[in-house]
Chains A and B, each alone.
Chain A
Amino acid sequence: MSVIESSLAELSRRLAAKELSAVEVTQASLDRIRATDTKLNAFLHVDEAGALAQARASDDRRAAGGSLGALDGVPLGLKDNFLTKGIPTTCGSKILEGFVPPFDSTHVTRLSEAGAVLLGKLNMDEFAMGSSNETSAFGPCKNPWDPSRTPGGSSGGAAAAVAARQCFGSLGTDTGGSIRQPAAFSGVTGLKPTYGRCSRYGVIAFASSLDQVGPFGRTAEDCAILLQAIAGKDPRDSTSLDAPVPDWVGGMAGATIAGMRLGVPREYFVEGLDPEVEKAVREAMALLEAQGAELIPIDLPHTEYGIATYYVIGPAEASSNLSRFDGVRYGMSKREEGGLREMYFRTRAQGFGSEVKRRIMIGTFALSSGYYDAYYIRAQKVRTLIKRDFDEAFRKVDAIVTPTTPGVAFELGARVADPLQMYLADVFTLACNLAGLPGMSLPCGFTSAGLPIGMQILGKPLDEASLFRIGAAYQAATDWHSRSPEVG
């Protein structure tokens, strides 16, 4: 078996045992990227020299008898909305083409302190606005299982790179499903932690009350190892929670789910759900039941209002956050003629793509005088109702099981002309962000055409541990997560 096939956890053990060197593993990842990325377009920037230098440093530490832990020498990728000092960061947008951040995001700092090797920056929908990676200004990333299809979005590159064995894990961000949906479409495991579990410092903001950083891995255990390194209070983000970070990885050893109560929401098994997706998810639930979990039907009655609520709150916050891209301090600046005002209008018109403009327009409308109460405040009230649905459900169950998406990866180009149709693809993932819950997507099967299917597990706030236990128990009994696509 080639080294790139091992999981992050397995690689970590082999590095610790000195069966492999970090340089040799990093070189294997770089070779894999070179061999497959012309086809996939997962990476927007590969930092070959930097990665090899970090790998050599890791090998030197081990040679001297030291180690920084489970991630020491492990090659990873980062979605291109994490600021990386000295390394270009575009957020998938022309407006930031050529931008080189002067500081690192908290996650980059923490991963570096853990000895990880950072291979480069991964493709994404522009400003994380999209569900297919097609709004990237640098061309879409392709699905490794079928390059005519989307890997999902907005963290498409972060999912595809893990699926294609270009890296052993990656970090993405999830505002309405942007980790879980591409994880499902690309056949990998992805986790959106509880809101506030991780810092948002140094991550280019989309919707600040919904954005959360999280890991992609081949297994739930890989995700736990990555989350372990990045979670915890950050003095630089006042919304990061000052909550103890449990030993998730330790808690997964021999994890059992016997006696766990799993809620099955009626509203997530409705018309429009692909029959092959429903079959795979129901089989996965039956397996969890066979492992001792109890399946309990529940109601989340405000589910049908999720998309409407999200597509007011997300764009409203985005329209405010993106006002900083004005041509003054960094990025594109169109100042050929006219004054300051002309520079603002021209820079933003030429720098932003159409989906970003569309969301800025929706958000500006919802916040504008005369519409603020009817749209923005009302959406925040409906958000309260959606959150209460979950509070109510979690009195009866320990976690909730659903399909991650109503369908599987769609053809590139199939939905670009119809933004509302694209938004509807997020129907099962965005309530989790509105309620601030942790959510994970696990591979749970393939369609007859060979496309991956994802199962979503939603947990109580700060109860990532239950998601990891369920993931570990499920993946101990199945092998969907260890299948890899033929690329190139």
Chain B
Amino acid sequence: MALTNEQIEKVAKLARLSLSPDETEEFRQQLSTILGYIEKMQALDVEGISPTAHAVEVDSTPLREDVVAPSLSPEEALANAPARSGNFFLVPRIIE
């Protein structure tokens, strides 16, 4: 599967990654090769086969009693924050 630079740039944008022109070209070649290999899946007949999201049956939304339990203090939760303001994580401006 031959990908174009435009496709790579679009995917990078969705993934919030800025790529240098060299990286774009490298990923274009590598992803084309890898997706080409992955295409072998297309040869299989999967008509009527249901998808497996988890190998083991798990209850995806188990409910528990709504009881208060100890959790991180604001100081602990914010200890690694690159920037904070009071008890909030501070981010750069959102609206230009």
A residues whose Cβ falls under 8 Å from a Cβ of B = 99-100, 102-103, 194-196, 209, 235, 238-239, 241, 302, 304-305, 307-309, 311-312, 319, 323, 326-331, 333, 335, 338-340, 342-346, 348-349, 352, 354, 357-358, 360-362, 364-365, 368, 374-375, 377-385, 387, 419-420, 423, 433-437, 461
Contact = CB atoms under 8 A, between A and B. Distances in A.
Contacts of B68: none
Given A335-B92, A377-B51, A385 B46 contact: yes
B4 interface: no
Contact of B55 (A340, A360, A434): A434
Nearest to B71: A103
Contacts of A433: 55
Contacts of A311: 34, 37-38
Identify which of A235, A338, A380, A437 gathers the most chain B CB atoms within 10 Å of its CB.
A380
Contact of B89 (A209, A328, A354): A328
Contacts of B72: 102-103
Given A103-B76, A195-B54, A335-B82, 16 more contacts: A103-B72, A196-B56, A302-B44, A304-B40, A328-B82, A329-B80, A344-B16, A345-B16, A358-B30, A381-B50, A383-B51, A383-B55, A384-B51, A419-B34, A433-B55, A436-B55
Contacts of B95: 339
Nearest to B39: A308
Nearest to A311: B38
B79 A100 contact: yes
Contact of A209 (B50, B54, B94): B54
Contact of B80 (A331, A360, A384): A331
A387 B52 contact: yes
Given A327-B82, A461-B56, A385 B49 contact: yes
B16 A383 contact: no
27 contacts: A195-B54, A238-B58, A238-B62, A328-B82, A331-B82, A333-B83, A335-B92, A339-B93, A339-B96, A343-B91, A345-B18, A349-B17, A349-B18, A354-B26, A357-B27, A360-B15, A361-B8, A364-B11, A368-B14, A378-B41, A381-B49, A381-B51, A387-B55, A434-B55, A435-B55, A436-B54, A461-B55
B59 to A, nearest CB: 7
B93 A340 contact: yes
Contacts of B40: 304-305, 308
Contact of A342 (B30, B31, B49, B92): B92
Contacts of B16: 323, 326, 344-345, 348
Contacts of B54: 195, 209, 239, 436
Interface in B16-68: 16-19, 23, 26-27, 30-31, 33-35, 37-42, 44, 46, 49-56, 58-60, 62, 64
A241 B56 contact: yes
A323 B22 CA distance: 23
B77 interface: yes
Contacts, number: 169
Contacts of B92: 335, 338-340, 342-343
B2 interface: no
Given A99-B80, A308-B40, A364-B11, A209 B55 contact: yes
A125 to B, nearest CB: 17
A382 B83 CA distance: 45
B17 A309 contact: no
Contacts of A338: 92
A365 to B, nearest CB: 5
A380 B50 CA distance: 8
Contacts of B77: 102
Nearest to A369: B14
Contacts of A309: 41
Contact of A378 (B37, B46, B60): B46
Given A102-B79, A361-B15, A380 B56 contact: no
A343 B91 CA distance: 9
A260 B55 CA distance: 25
A102 B62 CA distance: 26
Nearest to B82: A333
Contacts of A383: 51-52, 55
A312 B35 CA distance: 9
A148 B4 CA distance: 38
B96 A196 contact: no
B38 A196 contact: no
Contacts of B82: 327-328, 330-331, 333, 335
Nearest to A374: B42
Contacts of B23: 354, 357
Nearest to A329: B89
B26 to A, nearest CB: 8
B41 A335 contact: no
